[in-house]
A and B are shown apart, each in its own frame.
Chain A
Amino acid sequence: MAPVGSNQLKTLQYLAEETNKSNPAGVKFEIIGLDNKLSPAESLNQLKSALDQGVRYITQGNGSSVAGALLDAVNKHNERNPGKEIIFLNYAAVDPDFTNSKCSYWHFRFDADTSMKMEAMTTYIKDMKEVKKIYLLNQNYSHGQQVVKYAKENLGRKRPDIEIVGEDLHPLAQVRDFAPYIAKIKASGADTVITGNWGSDLALLVKAANEGGYNGRFFTYYTGVTGTPTALGQGGAGRVYQIGYAHYNMGGRMSQHMAGFKAKYNDDLYTGAFMGVFDLLTQAMAKAGSTDPVKVAAAMHGHKFKGYNGDMEMRKLDHQMQQTLYMTVWQKVDKKFPYSAENTGMTLAPVKTFEPYVSSTPTSCQMKMPS
Protein backbone atom coordinates (compact mmCIF):
# COMPACT_ATOMS: atom_id res chain seq x y z
CA MET A 1 0.00 0.00 0.00
CA ALA A 2 3.04 2.29 0.33
CA PRO A 3 3.07 3.27 -3.38
CA VAL A 4 -0.54 4.45 -3.00
CA GLY A 5 0.35 6.48 0.08
CA SER A 6 3.40 7.96 -1.62
CA ASN A 7 1.33 9.04 -4.63
CA GLN A 8 -1.36 10.58 -2.44
CA LEU A 9 1.07 12.47 -0.22
CA LYS A 10 2.71 13.93 -3.35
CA THR A 11 -0.75 14.80 -4.67
CA LEU A 12 -1.68 16.59 -1.47
CA GLN A 13 1.59 18.52 -1.45
CA TYR A 14 1.25 19.42 -5.12
CA LEU A 15 -2.32 20.68 -4.72
CA ALA A 16 -1.32 22.61 -1.57
CA GLU A 17 1.36 24.40 -3.60
CA GLU A 18 -1.15 25.18 -6.32
CA THR A 19 -3.73 26.38 -3.78
CA ASN A 20 -1.11 28.56 -2.07
CA LYS A 21 -0.68 30.56 -5.29
CA SER A 22 -4.22 31.89 -5.00
CA ASN A 23 -7.24 31.05 -2.86
CA PRO A 24 -10.25 32.87 -1.45
CA ALA A 25 -8.86 32.96 2.11
CA GLY A 26 -5.34 34.00 1.17
CA VAL A 27 -3.88 31.33 3.44
CA LYS A 28 -0.86 29.07 2.88
CA PHE A 29 -1.03 25.34 3.50
CA GLU A 30 1.84 23.31 4.91
CA ILE A 31 1.56 19.53 4.62
CA ILE A 32 3.11 17.27 7.25
CA GLY A 33 3.35 13.66 6.06
CA LEU A 34 3.10 11.07 8.84
CA ASP A 35 3.51 7.33 8.13
CA ASN A 36 0.95 5.23 10.01
CA LYS A 37 2.15 1.88 8.58
CA LEU A 38 -1.54 1.09 7.87
CA SER A 39 -1.96 0.53 11.61
CA PRO A 40 -4.72 2.06 13.77
CA ALA A 41 -2.39 2.10 16.81
CA GLU A 42 0.43 3.79 14.90
CA SER A 43 -2.10 6.30 13.53
CA LEU A 44 -2.93 7.37 17.08
CA ASN A 45 0.79 7.87 17.79
CA GLN A 46 1.04 10.02 14.68
CA LEU A 47 -2.04 12.00 15.68
CA LYS A 48 -0.33 12.82 18.97
CA SER A 49 2.78 13.86 17.05
CA ALA A 50 0.64 16.13 14.87
CA LEU A 51 -1.01 17.72 17.89
CA ASP A 52 2.41 18.33 19.41
CA GLN A 53 3.30 20.24 16.25
CA GLY A 54 0.27 22.49 16.60
CA VAL A 55 -1.76 20.84 13.84
CA ARG A 56 -5.52 21.53 13.88
CA TYR A 57 -6.42 19.78 10.61
CA ILE A 58 -5.73 16.13 9.84
CA THR A 59 -6.45 14.14 6.70
CA GLN A 60 -6.53 10.39 6.15
CA GLY A 61 -8.09 8.01 3.67
CA ASN A 62 -6.37 4.69 3.22
CA GLY A 63 -8.33 2.26 5.27
CA SER A 64 -11.57 2.61 7.19
CA SER A 65 -9.97 0.54 9.96
CA VAL A 66 -7.56 3.41 10.52
CA ALA A 67 -10.23 6.07 10.01
CA GLY A 68 -12.40 4.56 12.72
CA ALA A 69 -9.60 4.78 15.28
CA LEU A 70 -8.78 8.36 14.28
CA LEU A 71 -12.41 9.39 14.37
CA ASP A 72 -12.79 8.15 17.96
CA ALA A 73 -9.58 9.93 18.95
CA VAL A 74 -10.62 13.21 17.32
CA ASN A 75 -14.01 13.12 19.06
CA LYS A 76 -12.40 12.47 22.46
CA HIS A 77 -9.76 15.14 21.94
CA ASN A 78 -12.35 17.75 21.02
CA GLU A 79 -14.54 16.89 23.99
CA ARG A 80 -11.62 17.19 26.39
CA ASN A 81 -9.89 20.20 24.85
CA PRO A 82 -12.35 23.00 24.13
CA GLY A 83 -10.64 25.78 22.23
CA LYS A 84 -8.15 23.33 20.69
CA GLU A 85 -10.52 21.41 18.43
CA ILE A 86 -9.24 19.54 15.40
CA ILE A 87 -10.99 18.64 12.15
CA PHE A 88 -10.79 15.28 10.36
CA LEU A 89 -10.77 15.65 6.56
CA ASN A 90 -11.52 12.14 5.29
CA TYR A 91 -10.53 11.88 1.61
CA ALA A 92 -10.99 8.15 0.96
CA ALA A 93 -12.15 6.04 3.92
CA VAL A 94 -15.56 5.00 2.67
CA ASP A 95 -17.22 2.96 5.41
CA PRO A 96 -20.82 4.32 5.49
CA ASP A 97 -20.86 4.07 9.29
CA PHE A 98 -18.74 7.24 9.53
CA THR A 99 -21.66 9.28 8.22
CA ASN A 100 -24.36 7.15 9.82
CA SER A 101 -24.11 5.45 13.22
CA LYS A 102 -20.65 6.92 13.95
CA CYS A 103 -21.19 10.34 12.41
CA SER A 104 -19.36 13.28 13.94
CA TYR A 105 -19.55 17.04 13.58
CA TRP A 106 -15.74 17.11 13.32
CA HIS A 107 -15.53 14.60 10.46
CA PHE A 108 -15.99 15.62 6.81
CA ARG A 109 -15.92 12.99 4.05
CA PHE A 110 -14.96 14.07 0.52
CA ASP A 111 -15.09 10.67 -1.22
CA ALA A 112 -18.42 9.01 -1.96
CA ASP A 113 -19.05 6.22 0.52
CA THR A 114 -19.41 2.52 -0.28
CA SER A 115 -23.20 2.65 -0.37
CA MET A 116 -23.25 5.62 -2.78
CA LYS A 117 -20.82 4.00 -5.20
CA MET A 118 -22.71 0.70 -5.02
CA GLU A 119 -25.97 2.54 -5.73
CA ALA A 120 -24.46 3.94 -8.94
CA MET A 121 -22.64 0.72 -9.85
CA THR A 122 -25.74 -1.44 -9.58
CA THR A 123 -27.83 1.11 -11.45
CA TYR A 124 -25.38 0.57 -14.31
CA ILE A 125 -25.34 -3.22 -13.94
CA LYS A 126 -29.14 -3.28 -13.86
CA ASP A 127 -29.25 -2.65 -17.61
CA MET A 128 -26.54 -5.19 -18.51
CA LYS A 129 -28.63 -8.24 -19.30
CA GLU A 130 -25.46 -10.22 -20.02
CA VAL A 131 -24.57 -10.08 -16.31
CA LYS A 132 -26.06 -13.22 -14.79
CA LYS A 133 -23.59 -14.61 -12.23
CA ILE A 134 -21.57 -12.44 -9.87
CA TYR A 135 -18.68 -13.27 -7.53
CA LEU A 136 -17.94 -10.94 -4.61
CA LEU A 137 -14.22 -10.80 -3.75
CA ASN A 138 -13.24 -8.30 -1.10
CA GLN A 139 -10.84 -7.36 1.68
CA ASN A 140 -11.76 -8.59 5.12
CA TYR A 141 -12.32 -5.35 6.98
CA SER A 142 -15.15 -2.86 7.28
CA HIS A 143 -14.94 -1.50 3.71
CA GLY A 144 -14.85 -4.94 2.03
CA GLN A 145 -17.61 -6.21 4.27
CA GLN A 146 -19.74 -3.17 3.42
CA VAL A 147 -19.19 -3.74 -0.31
CA VAL A 148 -20.60 -7.25 0.09
CA LYS A 149 -23.55 -6.05 2.13
CA TYR A 150 -24.54 -3.24 -0.24
CA ALA A 151 -23.92 -5.31 -3.39
CA LYS A 152 -26.36 -7.96 -2.15
CA GLU A 153 -28.96 -5.40 -1.06
CA ASN A 154 -28.79 -3.37 -4.26
CA LEU A 155 -28.69 -6.29 -6.67
CA GLY A 156 -31.55 -7.96 -4.81
CA ARG A 157 -33.61 -4.84 -5.35
CA LYS A 158 -32.59 -3.99 -8.92
CA ARG A 159 -31.69 -7.35 -10.49
CA PRO A 160 -33.08 -10.18 -8.36
CA ASP A 161 -32.43 -12.59 -11.23
CA ILE A 162 -28.66 -12.24 -10.83
CA GLU A 163 -27.11 -15.10 -8.92
CA ILE A 164 -24.33 -14.51 -6.38
CA VAL A 165 -22.25 -17.59 -7.18
CA GLY A 166 -19.51 -17.05 -4.63
CA GLU A 167 -17.91 -14.69 -2.19
CA ASP A 168 -14.58 -14.40 -0.41
CA LEU A 169 -13.12 -12.03 2.12
CA HIS A 170 -9.32 -12.10 2.28
CA PRO A 171 -6.88 -10.42 4.70
CA LEU A 172 -6.04 -6.80 3.91
CA ALA A 173 -2.68 -6.31 2.15
CA GLN A 174 -1.37 -9.80 2.92
CA VAL A 175 -2.21 -11.95 -0.12
CA ARG A 176 0.75 -12.15 -2.53
CA ASP A 177 -0.82 -14.57 -5.01
CA PHE A 178 -4.47 -14.37 -6.02
CA ALA A 179 -4.28 -17.37 -8.39
CA PRO A 180 -6.25 -19.63 -6.00
CA TYR A 181 -9.02 -17.02 -5.80
CA ILE A 182 -9.10 -16.70 -9.59
CA ALA A 183 -9.37 -20.48 -9.86
CA LYS A 184 -12.39 -20.41 -7.51
CA ILE A 185 -13.99 -17.59 -9.51
CA LYS A 186 -13.53 -19.51 -12.77
CA ALA A 187 -14.93 -22.68 -11.21
CA SER A 188 -18.01 -20.77 -9.98
CA GLY A 189 -18.96 -19.80 -13.51
CA ALA A 190 -19.11 -16.12 -12.60
CA ASP A 191 -19.30 -13.78 -15.57
CA THR A 192 -18.64 -10.76 -13.35
CA VAL A 193 -16.65 -9.94 -10.22
CA ILE A 194 -17.45 -7.06 -7.88
CA THR A 195 -14.54 -5.96 -5.74
CA GLY A 196 -13.78 -3.01 -3.51
CA ASN A 197 -10.10 -4.02 -3.38
CA TRP A 198 -7.50 -1.28 -3.62
CA GLY A 199 -3.72 -0.93 -3.88
CA SER A 200 -1.74 -4.16 -4.13
CA ASP A 201 -4.87 -6.17 -3.38
CA LEU A 202 -6.39 -5.04 -6.68
CA ALA A 203 -3.18 -4.90 -8.71
CA LEU A 204 -2.27 -8.48 -7.78
CA LEU A 205 -5.85 -9.64 -8.30
CA VAL A 206 -6.08 -8.36 -11.88
CA LYS A 207 -2.56 -9.63 -12.58
CA ALA A 208 -3.65 -13.11 -11.46
CA ALA A 209 -6.82 -12.80 -13.55
CA ASN A 210 -4.75 -11.92 -16.64
CA GLU A 211 -2.33 -14.77 -16.04
CA GLY A 212 -5.08 -17.22 -15.17
CA GLY A 213 -7.07 -16.47 -18.29
CA TYR A 214 -10.19 -15.23 -16.53
CA ASN A 215 -12.23 -13.37 -19.13
CA GLY A 216 -15.11 -12.09 -17.02
CA ARG A 217 -15.87 -8.49 -16.10
CA PHE A 218 -14.60 -6.68 -13.03
CA PHE A 219 -16.61 -3.92 -11.41
CA THR A 220 -14.22 -2.05 -9.14
CA TYR A 221 -13.93 1.02 -6.96
CA TYR A 222 -10.21 1.65 -7.50
CA THR A 223 -8.84 0.58 -10.90
CA GLY A 224 -7.17 3.99 -11.35
CA VAL A 225 -5.21 3.77 -8.10
CA THR A 226 -1.41 3.29 -8.21
CA GLY A 227 -0.22 -0.08 -9.49
CA THR A 228 -3.43 -1.43 -10.96
CA PRO A 229 -3.13 0.24 -14.41
CA THR A 230 0.35 -1.27 -14.82
CA ALA A 231 -0.87 -4.67 -13.61
CA LEU A 232 -3.75 -4.54 -16.09
CA GLY A 233 -1.66 -3.33 -19.02
CA GLN A 234 -3.31 -4.14 -22.34
CA GLY A 235 -5.41 -6.81 -20.66
CA GLY A 236 -8.89 -6.23 -19.42
CA ALA A 237 -9.90 -3.85 -22.22
CA GLY A 238 -13.66 -3.39 -22.20
CA ARG A 239 -14.01 -5.70 -19.19
CA VAL A 240 -12.74 -3.71 -16.20
CA TYR A 241 -14.98 -0.95 -14.87
CA GLN A 242 -14.48 1.66 -12.16
CA ILE A 243 -17.04 3.73 -10.30
CA GLY A 244 -15.62 6.96 -8.91
CA TYR A 245 -16.05 10.69 -8.38
CA ALA A 246 -13.46 11.53 -11.04
CA HIS A 247 -11.68 10.00 -14.01
CA TYR A 248 -8.63 10.51 -16.18
CA ASN A 249 -10.35 12.36 -18.99
CA MET A 250 -12.78 14.73 -17.29
CA GLY A 251 -11.14 17.97 -18.46
CA GLY A 252 -11.26 21.27 -16.56
CA ARG A 253 -9.20 21.77 -13.43
CA MET A 254 -8.79 18.03 -12.87
CA SER A 255 -7.01 17.58 -16.20
CA GLN A 256 -4.91 20.73 -15.67
CA HIS A 257 -3.65 19.44 -12.35
CA MET A 258 -3.11 15.94 -13.76
CA ALA A 259 -0.95 17.41 -16.52
CA GLY A 260 1.05 19.51 -14.05
CA PHE A 261 1.52 16.56 -11.72
CA LYS A 262 2.61 14.27 -14.56
CA ALA A 263 5.13 16.84 -15.76
CA LYS A 264 6.58 17.18 -12.26
CA TYR A 265 6.52 13.57 -11.05
CA ASN A 266 5.81 11.41 -14.13
CA ASP A 267 2.96 9.95 -12.09
CA ASP A 268 -0.85 10.05 -12.19
CA LEU A 269 -2.90 12.40 -10.05
CA TYR A 270 -6.15 10.58 -9.36
CA THR A 271 -7.18 11.69 -5.86
CA GLY A 272 -9.46 14.53 -6.90
CA ALA A 273 -10.96 14.51 -3.40
CA PHE A 274 -8.04 16.69 -2.29
CA MET A 275 -9.27 19.38 -4.69
CA GLY A 276 -12.59 19.24 -2.87
CA VAL A 277 -10.71 19.54 0.43
CA PHE A 278 -8.88 22.71 -0.60
CA ASP A 279 -11.93 24.23 -2.30
CA LEU A 280 -14.12 23.72 0.74
CA LEU A 281 -11.48 24.71 3.29
CA THR A 282 -10.49 27.95 1.60
CA GLN A 283 -14.07 28.98 0.90
CA ALA A 284 -15.04 28.20 4.49
CA MET A 285 -12.02 30.08 5.88
CA ALA A 286 -12.89 33.09 3.75
CA LYS A 287 -16.52 32.89 4.86
CA ALA A 288 -15.53 32.53 8.52
CA GLY A 289 -12.78 35.15 8.29
CA SER A 290 -10.73 32.76 10.35
CA THR A 291 -8.75 29.51 10.30
CA ASP A 292 -10.08 28.49 13.72
CA PRO A 293 -11.43 24.94 13.22
CA VAL A 294 -14.59 25.69 15.19
CA LYS A 295 -15.49 28.58 12.88
CA VAL A 296 -14.32 26.75 9.77
CA ALA A 297 -16.34 23.63 10.64
CA ALA A 298 -19.44 25.78 11.02
CA ALA A 299 -18.78 27.33 7.60
CA MET A 300 -18.19 23.94 5.93
CA HIS A 301 -21.36 22.47 7.48
CA GLY A 302 -23.87 22.42 4.59
CA HIS A 303 -21.67 24.48 2.25
CA LYS A 304 -22.52 24.20 -1.46
CA PHE A 305 -20.11 25.12 -4.21
CA LYS A 306 -19.10 24.57 -7.82
CA GLY A 307 -16.17 22.21 -7.66
CA TYR A 308 -13.92 20.38 -10.12
CA ASN A 309 -16.72 17.83 -10.25
CA GLY A 310 -19.72 20.10 -10.81
CA ASP A 311 -22.21 20.88 -8.06
CA MET A 312 -20.91 19.76 -4.68
CA GLU A 313 -22.46 19.93 -1.24
CA MET A 314 -21.06 19.01 2.17
CA ARG A 315 -24.39 17.72 3.46
CA LYS A 316 -25.43 19.20 6.81
CA LEU A 317 -27.09 16.02 7.97
CA ASP A 318 -23.95 13.87 8.06
CA HIS A 319 -20.98 15.74 6.49
CA GLN A 320 -21.00 13.44 3.47
CA MET A 321 -20.06 15.18 0.21
CA GLN A 322 -22.81 14.94 -2.37
CA GLN A 323 -21.30 14.82 -5.86
CA THR A 324 -21.38 13.43 -9.38
CA LEU A 325 -20.07 9.89 -9.96
CA TYR A 326 -18.76 8.30 -13.16
CA MET A 327 -18.72 4.76 -14.46
CA THR A 328 -15.64 4.25 -16.60
CA VAL A 329 -14.19 1.31 -18.53
CA TRP A 330 -10.59 0.28 -19.26
CA GLN A 331 -9.69 0.75 -22.92
CA LYS A 332 -6.96 1.94 -25.28
CA VAL A 333 -6.36 5.68 -25.39
CA ASP A 334 -7.85 7.48 -28.36
CA LYS A 335 -8.43 11.04 -29.53
CA LYS A 336 -11.46 11.48 -27.31
CA PHE A 337 -9.93 9.88 -24.20
CA PRO A 338 -6.18 10.45 -24.47
CA TYR A 339 -4.87 10.19 -20.91
CA SER A 340 -2.44 7.26 -20.68
CA ALA A 341 -2.67 5.73 -17.20
CA GLU A 342 0.78 4.94 -15.79
CA ASN A 343 2.04 5.30 -19.37
CA THR A 344 0.33 2.05 -20.39
CA GLY A 345 -1.37 3.44 -23.49
CA MET A 346 -4.63 2.52 -21.76
CA THR A 347 -7.18 4.69 -20.02
CA LEU A 348 -10.50 4.73 -18.20
CA ALA A 349 -13.16 6.11 -20.51
CA PRO A 350 -16.49 7.34 -19.13
CA VAL A 351 -19.54 5.30 -20.10
CA LYS A 352 -22.10 6.79 -17.72
CA THR A 353 -22.43 9.91 -15.56
CA PHE A 354 -24.53 9.81 -12.40
CA GLU A 355 -25.79 13.14 -11.11
CA PRO A 356 -25.51 13.59 -7.33
CA TYR A 357 -29.14 12.71 -6.66
CA VAL A 358 -28.71 9.22 -8.18
CA SER A 359 -26.04 8.06 -5.75
CA SER A 360 -27.23 10.07 -2.76
CA THR A 361 -28.16 7.64 -0.02
CA PRO A 362 -30.15 8.38 3.15
CA THR A 363 -28.44 8.76 6.50
CA SER A 364 -29.36 7.73 10.01
CA CYS A 365 -26.91 10.26 11.47
CA GLN A 366 -28.08 12.07 14.60
CA MET A 367 -25.33 14.64 14.60
CA LYS A 368 -24.24 15.93 17.97
CA MET A 369 -23.65 19.63 17.49
CA PRO A 370 -20.95 21.35 19.57
CA SER A 371 -22.30 23.35 22.47
Chain B
Amino acid sequence: MASRKTWLALILTSVLSLSAWAQKGEVVKIAWIDPLSV
Protein backbone atom coordinates (compact mmCIF):
# COMPACT_ATOMS: atom_id res chain seq x y z
CA MET B 1 0.00 0.00 0.00
CA ALA B 2 1.49 3.32 -1.03
CA SER B 3 2.07 5.89 1.65
CA ARG B 4 0.34 9.25 1.67
CA LYS B 5 3.65 10.87 0.59
CA THR B 6 3.94 8.50 -2.38
CA TRP B 7 0.36 9.28 -3.45
CA LEU B 8 1.03 12.98 -3.19
CA ALA B 9 4.19 12.63 -5.27
CA LEU B 10 2.31 10.63 -7.90
CA ILE B 11 -0.47 13.20 -8.11
CA LEU B 12 2.02 16.07 -8.33
CA THR B 13 3.98 14.30 -11.08
CA SER B 14 0.75 13.66 -13.00
CA VAL B 15 -0.31 17.29 -12.76
CA LEU B 16 3.11 18.52 -13.91
CA SER B 17 3.14 16.01 -16.79
CA LEU B 18 -0.33 17.11 -17.84
CA SER B 19 0.84 20.70 -17.74
CA ALA B 20 3.84 19.94 -19.96
CA TRP B 21 1.71 17.79 -22.26
CA ALA B 22 -0.86 20.55 -22.59
CA GLN B 23 1.59 22.75 -24.51
CA LYS B 24 2.17 20.16 -27.25
CA GLY B 25 0.82 21.62 -30.46
CA GLU B 26 0.34 25.02 -28.83
CA VAL B 27 0.67 27.84 -31.36
CA VAL B 28 3.30 30.47 -30.59
CA LYS B 29 3.04 33.67 -32.62
CA ILE B 30 6.20 35.55 -33.54
CA ALA B 31 5.88 39.02 -35.07
CA TRP B 32 8.66 39.91 -37.50
CA ILE B 33 9.02 43.71 -37.67
CA ASP B 34 11.37 44.78 -40.48
CA PRO B 35 11.33 46.51 -43.87
CA LEU B 36 9.40 45.03 -46.78
CA SER B 37 8.70 48.15 -48.83
CA VAL B 38 11.72 50.44 -48.42
A240-261 toward B: CB 8 Å interface, digit per residue (1/0)? 0000000000000000000000
B35 and A36 contacting across the interface, CB-CB below 8 Å? yes
Q: Are B33 and A59 in contact (CB under 8 A)?
A: yes
For B28, what are the chain A residues with a Cβ–Cβ distance below 8 Å? 27-30, 56-57, 281, 285, 291
- Give me 23 A-to-B residue pairs in the complex whose CB atoms sit less than 8 angstroms apart, sorted by A's number: A1-B35, A2-B38, A4-B35, A8-B32, A27-B23, A27-B24, A27-B25, A27-B28, A29-B28, A32-B32, A35-B34, A37-B35, A37-B37, A38-B35, A47-B33, A56-B29, A57-B29, A58-B32, A60-B32, A66-B34, A285-B23, A289-B16, A291-B28
List the A side residues contacting B35 at CB < 8 Å.
1-2, 4-5, 35-38, 62-63
Check if B19 sits within 8 Å of A46, measured CB to CB: no
Query: Could you list 8 further interchain pairs (A-B, Cβ under 8 angstroms) beyond the known A49-B31, A59-B31?
Result: A12-B32, A26-B26, A27-B26, A31-B30, A34-B33, A46-B33, A50-B31, A62-B35
Residues of B within 8 A of A104 (CB): none
| Residue B27 CB within 8 A of the other chain | yes
Whether the pair B27, A57 counts as a contact (CB closer than 8 A) is: no
**Majority-rule SS of A interface residues:** mixed
Would you call A83 an interface residue if the criterion is a C-beta within 8 Å of the partner chain's C-beta atoms?
Answer: no
B29:A35 contact, CB within 8 angstroms: no
A34 touches B32 (CB 8 A): yes
Q: Which residues does chain B contribute within 8 Å of A289, judged by CB atoms?
A: 16, 19-20, 23
Q: Within the assembled complex, what's the spacing in Å between the Cα atoms of A202 and B1?
A: 74
Partner of A55, one of B29, B36, B37: B29
Bound complex: CA A35 to CA B29 (Å): 16
Decide: A35 and B31 in contact? CB cutoff 8 A: no
A54 within 8 Å of B by Cβ?
yes
Give Cα A180–Cα B21 distance, bound, in whole angstroms: 62
Which residues in B have their C-beta under 8 angstroms from that of A49?
Answer: 31
Contacts of A1 in B (CB 8 A): 35, 38
- Which B residue's beta carbon lies closest to that of A13? B32
Bound: A57/B37 CA distance, A: 23
Q: Kindly provide the distance from the CB of B30 to the nearest chain A CB, expressed in whole angstroms.
A: 5
B30 in complex: contacting residue of A37, A46, A58, A290, CB < 8 Å: A58
| Beta-carbon contact of B25 and A58 below 8 Å | no
A331, CB-defined interface residue at 8 Å: no
Task: Confirm or deny: A61 has a beta carbon within 8 angstroms of a beta carbon on chain B.
Answer: yes
Contact across chains for B31 and A53 when beta carbons are under 8 A apart:
yes
Binary contact track A11-32/B, C-beta < 8 Å → 1, others 0: 0100010000000011111111
A38-76 residues with Cβ-Cβ distance < 8 A to B are 38-39, 43, 46-47, 49-50, 53-63, 66, 70
From B26, B31, B32, A291 is in contact (CB under 8 Å) with B26
Name the A residues within 8 Å of B25 (CB-CB). 26-28
Scoring B23, B30, B31, B33 by chain A CB atoms within 10 A of each residue's CB, the highest score goes to: B33
Indicate if A89 sits at the interface (CB-CB under 8 A). Answer: yes
Q: Is A361 an interface residue (CB 8 A)?
A: no
**Is A189 on the interface with B (CB-CB < 8 A)?**
no
Q: Top 6 nearest A-B pairs by Cβ distance?
A: A50-B31, A26-B24, A35-B36, A38-B35, A289-B20, A5-B35
Is there an interface contact between A62 and B31, defined as CB atoms closer than 8 Å? Answer: no
From the candidates B24, B34, B38, name the one contacting A9 in the complex (CB within 8 A).
Answer: B34
- How close is B21's CB to chain A, nearest CB, in angstroms? 9
A27-B23, A27-B25 given as contacts; is B38 within 8 A of A32 (CB)?
A: no
Report A43 CB to chain B, min CB distance, Å.
Answer: 5
Within 8 A of A (CB), among B1-30: 16, 19-20, 23-30
Interchain nearest-CB distance for A273 vs B (Å): 12
Least CB distance from A93 to B in Å reads: 10
Separation of A291 and B27 alpha carbons in the complex (Å): 9
